[in-house]
Amino acid sequence: MKRLLTIQDISCFGKCSLTAALPVISAMGIETAVIPTAVLSTHTGSGFSGFTFHDLTNDIEGIAAHWKRLGLHFDTIYTGYLGSYEQVSLIRKLIADFRTEDTLVVVDPVMGDGGRLYSGFDNKFVTAMRSLCADADVILPNATETALLLGENYSNSLTADDIMSKLIRLTELGCGTAIMTGACEDKAHNGAMAYVRKTGELVSASCENVSGSFHSTGDIFSSVLSGGMTLGMDIKTALELAVDFTHDCISATLPIREQHWYAVRFEPCLGSLAERCRKYIDV
């Protein structure tokens, strides 16, 4: 059985980060271990204010040391929302300590959306996140995070050539593959585009675009992509699965969008995700 470690916060209400990654990756048939980076009462996205935030930076080294004594091995290490600037160097050390030749390292550089940094992050954090991206096999920034990582202005109307050029420059940070989420060649569609540095390949997957923004879709997408690659899917198959599942979750949310504005409704879609992964699982 494949085993994946994901490192991101617990937003106790709001169905993002760990409370989305855990059910989604488990449904894919992958054993999922977690390191929570912070505990928040809700996520910090628009619609919530006055959330609590408990930083867990001081717990990371102890967890890693215990796991080293246990001799644990992870097929994949997937990082998401981090609780502090200081966590970045601790997580880089953890990756170096647990990485073996066949470990896949996926970094979702969660920092912002819609052209804005999430509450609590600053330029120092962006610089630190750039260094974590250098350690990754795969990074998954959205357009906002791409602009931050490249030190450029944000634009929400990128052409296919713009995206290609940004993807190439993202891999120059040191990662093997850069995937831009929410990126597509035309406006009627949405999806993701990937550049694989070693082969020079450009890979994309898309679906019909649903207007508006849906919180937690980045975490859902990254979880499925990480899970798919962990199961041995090629990049195109994993991208298509992540795009389709994210689109399914958005479709399942539309009828209850007003009450369910804080995240997407992924629960009814887990069964078909599990079905699509079944042939990749050793039973």
- Give the whole-angstrom CA distance, residue 280 versus residue 29: 9
CB nearer to ligand PXL: pick between 13 and 98: 13
CB nearer to ligand PXL: pick between 108 and 244: 108
Smallest gap from Cβ 165 to ligand PXL, in A, equals 26
User: 185 phi and psi, to 5 degrees?
Assistant: -70, -25
Q: Using CB under 6 A as the criterion, which residues of the chain lie in contact with ligand PXL when the complex forms? A: 9, 11, 16-17, 40, 43-45, 81, 110, 118, 216, 218-219
Q: Where are the beta strands (DSSP E) in the chain?
A: 3-13, 31-42, 53-55, 76-79, 104-107, 112-113, 116-117, 138-139, 177-181, 189-196, 201-208
CB nearer to ligand PXL: pick between 221 and 280: 221
Smallest gap from Cβ 11 to ligand PXL, in A, equals 5
Contacts 24+ apart (CB under 8 A), 235-239: 235/177, 235/194, 235/196, 235/201, 235/203, 236/203, 236/205, 239/179, 239/191, 239/192, 239/194, 239/203, 239/204, 239/205
CB nearer to ligand PXL: pick between 75 and 145: 145
Smallest gap from Cβ 114 to ligand PXL, in A, equals 10
CB nearer to ligand PXL: pick between 140 and 233: 140
Cβ atoms within 10 Å, residue 46 = 14
